[in-house]
Amino acid sequence: MTSSTATDAGSTARRLPAGRKAELAAYVAEVGEVTVAQLADRFDVSADTIRRDLDALDADGVLIRTHGGAVSTSAIPRPDTGLDVRMRLQTTAKERIGALAATLVHDGFAIVVNAGTTTLALARHLADHSDLTIATNSLRLATEIAPKVYRDLYVFGGAVRASAQATVGPVRLPALAGGPELDIRCDLAIIGVGAVAVDAGYSTSNLAEAQMMGDMMDRAACVAVLADSSKFGRRLFAQIADLGRADYLVTDVAPPHDLHDALRARDVEVLVAAD
């Protein structure tokens, strides 16, 4: 076979659907997040063809289909990424973290839990617990946790962030019969964060949410921060608290040396979930 013939054969193979989808999957894995328009232009096919390819690759678990595009299963989500998409990112790490964090919860505890995909994983691992009092700003948590687990489940009021399926407002609950809002205290605050860094502490992308998460910490006798290793060394828009505000950092991989040393200096116990 001549060189030109081999090149033509290779080009033809790349234009075949299976070959195109393999290249498409590799490209999304490399870039992290793409739109249908970008892919249609890159692979010189119609947008409808790209949509069908993405649907097929999503069904195979190769990538995650989003409105208007796709993201890699290992991508770090943008602040506006919807909860349903984020729930499919770093799933193994989140389940491991959730299982380990659940061991910090004892029957009869009052706990406050913020909205997030890692804290939802925690909720699924509380199945063997009982008599809990749970307060949360997650609109999704009630569907993820069995009623037999809790004595009472409260959802904080406030503005709804639809993309996060969460409320944002004061960490208080209304009294019965129209009385004033009641302050609360709990045994353990379980807080999933968007970023962890030596200088920036714990941070997230939304200012009001950061304030609410900080208030949750202030109402707890003990604080456990949950963060997978993709959050290390990052800083997002709004600081929640300094590193030392947590009693535990529950994660899937040991933090880098500088972060680990900073946590240890502030008496934060690092719990690493086993494989």
**144-172 confidence digits (pLDDT tens):** 899 999 999 999 989 998 878 899 999 98
CA 212 to chain centre: 17
Tell me how far apart the alpha carbons of residues 178 and 231 are, in angstroms, rounded to a whole number: 42
The label of the residue with tokens 């828009």 reads 237
Say what the pTM is. 0.77
Work out the average pLDDT over 197-213: 95
pLDDT digits over 244-268, tens only? 999 999 999 999 999 999 999 999 9
Kindly state the tokens that stand for 5: 């013939």
Work out the average pLDDT over 208-226: 97
Q: Is 169 within 8 Å of 158 (Cβ atoms)?
A: yes
pLDDT at 83: 62
pLDDT-based confidence at residue 180 (cuts at 50, 70, 90): confident
pLDDT at 22: 84
